[in-house]
Chains A and B, each alone.
Chain A
Amino acid sequence: MKAWRAWVALLDRREEGTSLALFRVAIGLCVLGTVGTVVGHGLVEVLWVDRAHGGYRSLGEGSWLVALAGGPTPAVIWGLVAVSLAGGALLVAGLAARLGALLALQGVLALTWVNGHAGGSYDDLLTNALWLLVLASSDRTLSLSCRLRTGRWRSDDPVPAWPRWLAVLQLVLMYASSGSQKLSSTWVPGGDFSALYYILQQPTWQRFDMRWVAPLFPLTQAATALTWAWEISSPLLLLAFWARLGPSPATGLRGWLRRLDLRRPFALVGVPMHLGTLLVMNVGPFSALSLCFYLCLWHPDEWHAAARRLRALRRGRPATPPAPATASRPGSTARPGA
């Protein structure tokens, strides 16, 4: 019962909505980009419409929503494209964000299931993000809805913190699951760590010819070892959150973990890895989507502090310390970084 009460209390914690709002805007842009590029490349009726209506392959009835609407015909598919784009736009604007997320989620699910050959893990990553945005209160700040409600673009209204934690958990699950399945002798210790070199040679995902990396083979070996170790050890990131959720000031292991702040080394590897992938490989929106989840690694107070530092840097003055605004809010956590 004690563990259950602690779990219930944990999920009752609230914080400002900045991190979730940034996540919402970024995911909304990804929805627009993911569906928009299919429109832009003239592929909507090629990939997602049945062969009988001009598509390149027989698709059957498609997902339950497509089947319910009458099958993968141009009218149904364009309708779903419009619904997805409208959902993405609502998310970016922050207007009826839960409804926007639900529309985008069901639209993207229906479209991507209709032709399972033409997609990848990035579709799962996107729909997982959208489901979290259905559950989250993500438009309390940095949104049109906030502007209409308060007359300002920003608000410090508290929102439940657990959707942000679930986003972090999702990121960890993805890396840990991916890392634990990298069983090739070219990935694991004891092998030659040639995985990244050979992956870069696969024409399917290349942006351009990658034979120029051959003289840099030792660097690709180091990157292979680092990627594998980093993915496998990604669950350690949860310790950073465990440390921050405890009482302040923290002592012992919690205190040490807080000072260590595993989020920094995690992001120091992850962000360049995704940016590098984006630069040399075409794996769809995967890198951009992954980086969206990184926005949830930081507590809203930390985003505000970073924004203050940036503003001060621009003005050439030291940053002003934050006002203790969150401490008195009912149900809020005054501890930054949790």
Chain B
Amino acid sequence: MTHPPARPWWPHVRAALVAAHVLAVGVAALPAPEGGMNRAAWADPTVQAELDAWAGRLRSLGLPVERAALEDHLWVVGRTWTQARAALLRPLRPYYRGAGTNQSWRMFVAPHRFPARLVLSVREDGAWRDVYVERDPQRRWMGRQLDHDRFRSAIFRYSWPGYGRAWAELGQWLALRAARDFPRASHLRLRFARQRSPSPAEVRAGVEPPVRFLRAQEVELASLREGDG
């Protein structure tokens, strides 16, 4: 003999809650260029190369596409969709935040063709010396911390526009450590070395694309030592 369930309403409530979860995570997983809607970031050579490639491809298909018009059109479409999606998700935000069910899967949507490498240098007796270069096994000052995946993520962001304050604060934080670790140093310099990734043919031919430095900041160390005092 089967007994009726103690709470006959529960299977229905559970089914409704699971359906709501499926709906919430499904909607949140809809693609969106969130985080990429920064017009200054679109000026990056990687993004520009991508737009060039798509304009060329569409033209090769016989579509009369102008490069600048394509960029403007994509900006409008991206912004409209991002705003519409944000409005759709707004009532569900408490669920995403409280239950950790956010769906942010914009992973390697495009390779960074002009990646930047963090370079830290100290100035000793008037000459600059590199003490940390990202992924260089010989120059690893603070590497134990800076090479951790969470710091990699932060450093990657700071090579893009829009992170000026955090980038400056990172400089101050590193300068305090440089003042302690390099007693003869007068300055710490932070900058990114941007270099186009060589194509397979260029690697085979030994061609090294030129390096350009960006977002340089110098921090004077003497005053920090005085502060230690």
Q: Which residues of A contact B (CB under 8 A)?
A: 4, 7-8, 11-12, 37-38, 41-43, 46-47, 51, 55-58, 64, 105, 108-109, 115, 117-121, 124, 126-128, 130-131, 134, 162, 166, 169-170, 173-174, 176-178, 180-187, 190-191, 194-199, 201-206, 208-209, 211, 214-215, 217, 282-285, 330
Contact = CB atoms under 8 A, between A and B. Distances in A.
A108 B198 CA distance: 39
A184 B174 CA distance: 36
B103 A201 contact: no
Given A11-B15, A119-B153, A130-B100, 13 more contacts: A8-B11, A105-B100, A118-B150, A124-B103, A174-B29, A177-B31, A177-B105, A182-B108, A184-B109, A184-B110, A195-B108, A198-B111, A209-B135
Nearest to B201: A214
A214 B204 contact: yes
A8 B19 CA distance: 10
Contact of B169 (A4, A57, A130): A57
Interface size class of B (residues with CB under 8 A): 35 or more
Contact of B11 (A12, A38, A118): A12
B97 to A, nearest CB: 8
B106 A178 contact: yes
B101 A127 contact: yes
B156 interface: yes
B153 A7 contact: no
A204 B115 CA distance: 8
Interface in B113-154: 113, 115, 117, 134-135, 137, 144-145, 147-154
Contacts of B25: 128, 169-170, 173
Given A38-B150, A124-B104, A209-B135, A11 B169 contact: no
Interface in B149-205: 149-158, 163, 165-166, 169-170, 173-174, 197-198, 200, 203-204
A37 B145 CA distance: 10
B145 A42 contact: yes
A41 B148 contact: yes
B50 A41 contact: no
B199 to A, nearest CB: 8
Interface of B: 2, 11-12, 14-15, 18-19, 21-22, 25-26, 29-31, 50, 53-54, 57, 97, 99-113, 115, 117, 134-135, 137, 144-145, 147-158, 163, 165-166, 169-170, 173-174, 197-198, 200, 203-204
A112 to B, nearest CB: 9
14 contacts: A4-B15, A7-B15, A41-B145, A105-B99, A105-B100, A121-B106, A166-B18, A169-B25, A182-B108, A185-B53, A203-B117, A205-B152, A214-B198, A282-B152
Contacts of B57: 185, 190-191
Given A42-B144, A43-B150, A183-B109, A217 B101 contact: no
Nearest to B56: A185
Given A41-B145, A43-B145, A117-B157, A162 B18 contact: yes
B220 to A, nearest CB: 18
B213 to A, nearest CB: 15
Chain B interface main SS type: helix
Given A127-B100, A206-B135, A8 B15 contact: yes
Contacts of A38: 148, 150
Contacts of A11: 11, 14-15, 18
Contacts of B103: 124, 128, 173-174, 177
A194 B111 contact: yes
B94 to A, nearest CB: 10
Given A11-B15, A162-B18, A131 B111 contact: no
A124 B105 CA distance: 9
B152 A187 contact: no
Nearest to A330: B2
B47 to A, nearest CB: 10
A197 B109 CA distance: 14
A172 to B, nearest CB: 9
A211 B154 contact: no
A120 B111 CA distance: 16
